[in-house]
Amino acid sequence: MTDDYLRLVQPWDADEDGTLAETPIFHLKARRARSRQSAKAGRYVYLDTVDWVNVVALTADDEVVMIEQYRHGLGEVTLEIPGGMLDPGEDPAQAGARELEEETGFRGDAITSLGFVSPNPAIQNNRCHTILVSPVAATGRVALDESEEIAVRLVPLAAVDDLIRRGVIHHAMVVAAFHHLAIHRRSGA
């Protein structure tokens, strides 16, 4: 992506990546890189992982389909929106529609891409896409992964800002998704 805001620093020249470790979710990789502007160089480690998608799903009554689930990284239950990893060859809209129905039993036909964020570009090479599905309705067809325990909760969209402010919603990618939604709504799209 080229933008006038990104012209002061040049990309670094990088050697071929080497794999340090492989897990079901990511590969730990390393590469040597050198600055084109200075003599700075080093070995940099990063997580090579697939893109993710988050789904803002709104009912006709402007309620957000949200999920509660236990997150092993924090050791806590979180309040989030549905989402997950893209399967090979899947685009974000397809993945989002699939994840929404699998995790919540809701679906809708109107899907809009709201944008993407880089979860942590210092150490990860993936993107997290946000899609809007609205309006949605319950189908009852939930198909959780073997290790998932999810409870579905309908939250009034008007309550989301307060839930973020109070730290009830604190997953960074979920907060970013709601920001994308706010931009979308302000633009009148």
Q: Which tens digit of pLDDT belongs to each residue from 5-64?
A: 888 899 999 998 999 999 999 999 999 999 999 989 999 999 999 999 999 999 999 999
Query: Across residues 138-143, what is the average pLDDT?
Result: 85
**DSSP for residue 115:** E
CA atoms within 13 A on the CB side of 33: 15
Residue type, 43: R
How confident is the model at residue 2, as a pLDDT?
Answer: 58
Q: Contact 17/31 with Cβ under 8 angstroms?
A: yes
Q: Residue 3 — very low, low, confident or very high, per pLDDT cuts 50/70/90?
A: confident
Q: Contact 47/125 with Cβ under 8 angstroms?
A: yes
Of 59, 97, 85, 187, residue with least CA distance to 145: 85
Give me the percent of the chain exceeding a pLDDT of 90.
87
Question: Could you give the C-alpha distances from 163 to 114, 152, 157, in angstroms and in order?
Answer: 21, 16, 10
Question: Could you give the C-alpha distances from 18 to 13, 15, 35, 45, 119, in angstroms and in order?
Answer: 15, 9, 19, 9, 22
At 163-177, the pLDDT tens digits run 999 999 999 999 999
Reduced to 3 states (helix: H, G, I; strand: E, B; else coil), residue 163 is helix
**DSSP for residue 26:** E
Residue predicted with more confidence, 146 or 124: 124
Q: Residue 188 — very low, low, confident or very high, per pLDDT cuts 50/70/90?
A: confident
Identify the CATH homologous superfamily for domain 52-186.
Nucleoside Triphosphate Pyrophosphohydrolase (3.90.79.10)
Distance CA 44, CA 41 (A): 9
**DSSP for residue 120:** -
Domain residue limits, the chain: 13-49, 52-186
| Radius of gyration of the chain from its Cα atoms, rounded to whole angstroms | 19
Residue predicted with more confidence, 2 or 151: 151
Distance CA 179, CA 59 (A): 19
